[in-house]
Structure 1
C-alpha cells in the first residue's frame, strides 16, 4: 500500500470514529435525540432521488436497507406526505432500519417517543429494540386525523451504552413502501413509590413518556403484550389497542399536567395490580371526563376491582370537563387488579378515534369500626 493510500485509509478511520463518538448522547435529559427530527440530511451526492446512499449519510444515524429522505409535501401517487415536526422525515422500506447509540445510566428506565405514519400497506408494523429488549408496534389502527401517530416504548438499560434500532420488517412488493419516521425522543423514567395517601402508584399519571411539544395528538402507549417495560410506570395496557397519554398543554386534563384517554373501547384496558388485605373494604375514586378535543357524545368508563364493578356515564360536549366516581369493593386476595376501560368506541367528526379521560385515581382502605360488646 502506498503512503498516500495509507493516509487516506487513516483519515477514513478517524472520520468513522468521530461519527461513532458523535452518535453517543446522554439519555438522561428529556427531549429529541441528536438529529432526532432528521432536519440535518444527507448531502446531494448521498441521495439518489429520495433514496439515501451510504450507511452514515444521515448525521447522527446509521442506516441499513432502503431508506428514503422525505421532505414535507412529498407526493406519493395522489397522496401528499406531511411531516409533523420540521420539514424532513425518513421512510423505512422493506427490512430497513435506523439506529443510534445512546449513553445511559445502567439500571435506569427510559422511554422512547417517536412519530410514525403509514404510507402504503394496511398491516405495517415496526420493530423497536434496545438490547436485549425488543417490541413490535402494530400500525393497523391510525388514531389521529393527521395520518401521524406518536408511540412510546420503554426499556431498562442493562449497559452504560446501548443501541436504539427502529426496523421495518415489512415484505411489500414495492420496496419503497414503509412507514415514515420522525421526531425520535427519549426520557428517563423514575418508577413511582407508594405513599400513605394512596395504594396505587403513579395514580395521577404524571410520570410517563415524553410528549413532543409541536404535536397535538398525544402519545400512544402500546399494549403490555408488546412492551416488557411500560412507558407509563406502574400501569399496564391490556388487550389489543393502545391508550393515549395526553398533557394539559394540548388537552383538558382533570388534575395536574397528564392524564390518559381511553381510545380503544373495550379493546384497551388500563390496569394496575395492588397489594390488598383479604376481607378489607376499599374505595377506588377517580375522575372521568373529556379531553376538550371535540370528542362529543355519550361516553362510559367501566372500573373493576375484585368482584365489584361500576359504570360511569359521561355526556361529553367535547369542550372539557369531568366528574368524580367511586367504586367500593372487598378484597378477596392479597393482590387485586384494578382495571379501567371504555364501554364504547368514540370518534370525532373527522372519524379519528377518541374517548373518555381517566385521571386522579385514589385507592384507600376503609377501616371498619370495632365492634363493642353491648351490655344488657
Structure 2
C-alpha cells in the first residue's frame, strides 16, 4: 500500500486530511485495519503463500513510521504461527532469521530458522521488519532455543572454533538472565559431556582442560598442561572464564593443581615434571587422599630421563649417607624449596631418623 511522501509536500499535506479522505485516501489507522483484515483472511483460508508474506512485510515497511504492531487488529501477527521455518510453521518469537553468526552453531544445533528455500533470499531484505515482529536475530534472544536444541555429544567433524565460541556466548546470555533458567542446567551438562575444547594436545572434555593464567607463566608453561589453545580460537577466550568454569574447565590454581596431579604420573620428561612440582608447591596443594598412585616420586637422571619410585623408597635428607643406595635422598635431585611438597603431598619421610627403618 503506497504512502504519501509528506516530505515532498513539505508536511503541508496534513492540512488537507478531510479533502484527501473525500478523494479516497485512507489514514494510517484505516490502512492498518485494512491490511490486518486482508492478511488475516488469507491466513484463515490456508491460502498463505510466500508472496503473501513478502507483501505483508512490504506493507509493514511502508507504514513502519506510524503503524503500531500492537494494534488490536494486528495481534495475530505476534501470536499466530504464520512463518515457515525448518521446524514447520512458527510464531515470530519462535523463529530465527539466519545470519553469519548462526552459521557455525547451526551445524550441531537444530534451529527453527526461517525457511529461505521456501521464501527465497528476498526474505532477508525484510530483516528489520521481522525483528520488529519479534523474530530472533541474535544469541541474546535465541539462547534458550540453542540450549534446548543442543544434542550431545556433538559430532567431532562439526566442531569449529566459531561454533564453540557461539555456544559460550549463548551460555553467557543464559547465565545473565537468571541462574534458575530452566534450560541452563541441561545445557551445561550437554556441553560438559563433549570433547569440544581444543587444547595443544587435541580435543578434550572441558573437565580435562585448563584456562591458562599468564600470571603462572614463570612457574608453568602452557605446553605442560592441557591448556585451551587460544590461537585456535583467535580471540581472548578468557572473557568466557565464568562459562568455562561452569562447564568444568579448570580456571583457578587449586583446581589446576588437582588436574595436574593426575597428569603428573603419565609424564616421563624431567623438565615438565619439575615445573608441575613447582606449581603444586607454589599453591600449597595437598591430595584429599594419599593413595598408592600419589605415593610416587620422579627420580631424574643426568641425561634428562628418570623413573617413578615409590615414596617409601625416598627420604628428603640423608646427610650422613646412612642408607646409601637403598633410599633416594631427594635433596640430591630437587631444590630445597620443593622438598616440603614431597612430604606433605606425596608421603615422603623427612630424614633417615624418621624413615621407619
- State the TM-score, normalized to the length of structure 1: 0.26
The structure carrying a bigger helix percent of its residues is 2
The higher radius of gyration belongs to 2
Which structure has more relative contact order (CA 8 Å, sep 6+)? It is 1
